[in-house]
Amino acid sequence: MIPFRTTAPGAAVPAVTMGLILVNVAVFLYQIDLAPRAETRFLYTYALVPAVFANPDLARHAGLDPHNYWPLLTNTFMHGGWLHLIFNMWTLWLFGAPVEGRMSRVRFLVFYLACGFLGSMGHLLANLDSTVPALGASGAIAGVLGAYARLFPGAKVTLFLPIIIIPFIFSVPAIIFTGVWFAIQLWQGTAAMDAASGAGGIAWWAHIVGFLAGLVLIGWLGGRPWQTPLPPPPTGPLFRTGIRLRRGPWSRGPTSRGPWG
């Protein structure tokens, strides 16, 4: 399911969301322009390699610093390919702009970075022996989804679901979309804990922890829930202010009663 529209109002100028997207794109363009050997070094220096922290001796032997914790954050600005980048940035734009609009820009930036850091911690603790570099903004964006679920539960999310060659487009409440999404992450993450199943190249626990962090942190940082607007009042001459229906001949006072009322 690919989300492509939401009824939640976004910030008038989502400067932080746009800035985060530009930084992610700039880092990716820099990364793919590196020579293969330099790119490998770049990945192992700034992406998250859990074994570096779980096995300090191995890290030092590879020339990596086990006390450098910046990769818990820097990996969230790196991506493994164009599709990875495009899908993450589209999701950030779609849900980040509404969340940013419910809080100050500084608080939204702190919120985003905190969710990314905590999501990275989730992946680290679930994959301590992994020597594969983990990278991507999805942990931080999962936090944005968690905040969106709390701030806009009644907003509608329009989804695109390709069935073979037939596009199926439908809308669901945000609380249902985010709930189903989180259930899938939890199911896949639990299955990935089995060494035989593997993680399939996806940091499920970064998504899970990032989403839960977003649910909690948005309240602490003062995110203001959005009230779904009521439908407009009926219009027409009978509903204009000061116009009343004419009463019958037996009408007295505020209620209509018969002649013996």
**For the chain, percent of residues with pLDDT exceeding 70:** 84
pLDDT, position 232? 59
Mean pLDDT score, 82-93: 96
Cα–Cα distance, 97 to 113 (Å, whole number):
15
Region for 251 from its dihedrals, namely left if φ exceeds 0, alpha if ψ lies in -120 to 50, beta otherwise: beta
The ranges assigned to domains in the chain are 2-256
pLDDT, position 181? 95
- Tell me: pLDDT of 78 over 90: yes
pLDDT, position 247? 46
CB 131 within 8 A of CB 43: no
Q: Report the predicted TM-score, pTM, of the whole model to 2 decimal places.
A: 0.83
Res. 175 pLDDT band, cuts 50 70 90: very high
- Tokens read off for 168: 């199926």
Q: Which fold has domain 2-256?
A: Rhomboid-like fold (1.20.1540)
pLDDT, position 260? 40
Res. 173 pLDDT band, cuts 50 70 90: very high
pLDDT digits (tens, 9 = 90+) for 7-26: 998 888 999 999 999 999 99
Count CB neighbours of 55 within 10 A: 16
pLDDT digits (tens, 9 = 90+) for 112-171: 999 999 999 999 999 998 989 999 999 999 999 999 999 999 999 999 887 777 788 889
pLDDT digits (tens, 9 = 90+) for 15-59: 999 999 999 999 999 999 999 999 999 999 999 999 999 888 888
- Tell me: pLDDT of 244 over 80: no
pLDDT, position 141? 97
